[in-house]
Amino acid sequence: MNYYITYFIVAIGLFSFSAFFALFGVYAERKISAFIQDRLGPTETGKFGSLQTLADIMKMIQKELIIPAAADKWLFMLAPAVIFIAVYMGFAALPWGPGLIPSKINLGIYYIFAIISIETLGILMAGWGSNNKYSILGAMRSAAQIISYEIPAGFAIISVVMIAQTLDLQAVAMQQGVLSPEKIKFAGILDVTATGGFLSWNIFRAPHLIIAFVIYFIASLAESNRAPFDIPEAESELVAGFHTEFTGIRFALVFLAEYSMMFLVSMIGVILFLGAWNTPFPNIGPVHLADGTTNMWWGIFWITLKTLGLVAIQMWIRWTLPRFRVDQLMNLCWKVLTPLSFLCMLISGVWRVWLM
């Protein structure tokens, strides 16, 4: 019985975390975009406008839920829930620290990749259900884009999995620090099992994973429909894309899903490539920096810090680069990223056989 209570607490905890992160993320995004464009951003609500997003969500909750007369009622109502739940369930298999993981399943990364593809279904439901030409165009673009970019992202992930030899994210995380059960070599040469720190992160264990990481990062931008890959909601062409017709709390759910997705893909990137919850400080001779900064609380701190760093880079990119055209998008995916990720996979195989 206590088992189930724990489950509920974990689920509610994850939900409140993603909701809190969405509030913080929207505020951060508005401030960052403002400063990049020499503006001030929200300043009036609360100190430095910090309560602005809270006020926004209060407004959203009070708004009327409008279902357009021509909409497909059931698809329209279910879509935001499907979009959000798909992303939210992805959080279940992500490790936060040594021994701290909501659900320790040995298929971790496979499960996450499977469950977040359901989001496409939700977006298609939203687009089709709205019965609006802009929505359906946005949804079609989104589906095409997400399905295409899952291929380079998938192969980039496979090249990590080939190095790590496991799909369990907690095991992948464990391998990249001082707690590693097996021998780690920096760049395939130097034994750093006892040193840990950033030297044992996956991108330094096998340097070709830097390319895999860049590929994964670009593909993850596309998968979370972020600029420069935001053609599904291209404001200048499609009003707001697939969520044009949504109001009130349904719209808020779509937004929540977008920001949770940003955090989720960044966190997967951190776990697979940037040492998960491991500290960046190595043990240097008698100074045991790595041992001192590796435990559950430090784990939560490090993984949050690294993930927020990646999220900040996502925002930075959004407010710098202009939107891709559809053909450029597909060119980049199929002619550049996919071959490169194949190459990474190939190198991973060779690396595993000859250098590890």
Partner 1 sequence: MFKRTINGFKTAWKGLSLTVKHLFANNSARKITTVSDSNYFKQLEKGTNTIQYPKQQLPVPEIGRYQLDVEMDDCIVCDLCAKVCPVDCIDIEAIKATEAIGQTSDGTTKRLYAAKFDIDMAKCMYCGLCTIVCPTECIVMTNQYDKTVFELSDLVYEFSDMPPEVAAEKRALFDKQQAEKQAAKLAAMQKKEGGE
CB 29, min distance to partner 1, A: 12
Q: For the CB of residue 235, give the shortest distance to partner 1 in the complex, in Å.
A: 19
Q: Which residues, including other chains, have CB under 8 Å from residue 339's CB and lie 6 or more apart?
A: none
Phi and psi (nearest 5°) for 160? -70, -45
State the amino acid at position 209 in one-letter form: L
Rg (CA), the chain: 21
Nearest distance in Å: CB 145, partner 1: 18
Number of H helices, E strands in the chain: 15, 2
Nearer to partner 1, 32 or 239 (CB): 32
Q: Which residues bind partner 1 (CB under 8 A)?
A: 32, 35-40, 43, 316-317, 319-321, 335-336
Secondary structure element (H or E) that encloses residue 219, with its range: helix 209-223
Q: Which residue from 123, 76, 72, 87 is spatially nearest to 14, judged by alpha carbons?
A: 87
Closest approach of partner 1 to the CB of residue 74, in Å: 43
Residue 185's beta-bridge partner residues? 191
Smallest separation (angstroms) from partner 1 to the CB of 148? 18
CB closer to partner 1 out of 38 and 64: 38
CB of 320 to partner 1, least distance (A): 4
Based on CB atoms, which residue is closest to partner 1, 106 or 320? Answer: 320
Determine whether 295 is exposed, middle or buried from the number of CB atoms within 10 Å of its CB (0-12, 13-18, 19+). Answer: middle
What's the angle, vertex CA 13, arms to CA 124 and CA 63, rounded to 5? Answer: 50
Q: Which is nearer to partner 1, 42 or 127 (CB)?
A: 42
Q: How far is the CB of 328 from partner 1 (least distance, A)?
A: 10
* Phi, psi dihedrals of residue 286, rounded to the nearest 5°: -80, -15
183: CB partners within 8 A, 6+ apart: 191, 193
Rounded Cα gap, residues 262 and 25, in angstroms = 9
Whole-angstrom distance, CA of residue 87 vs CA of residue 83: 7
Closer CB to partner 1, 284 or 321, in the complex: 321
The residue (of 32 and 55) whose beta carbon lies closer to partner 1 is 32
Whether the CB-CB separation of 120 and 74 falls below 8 Å is answered with no
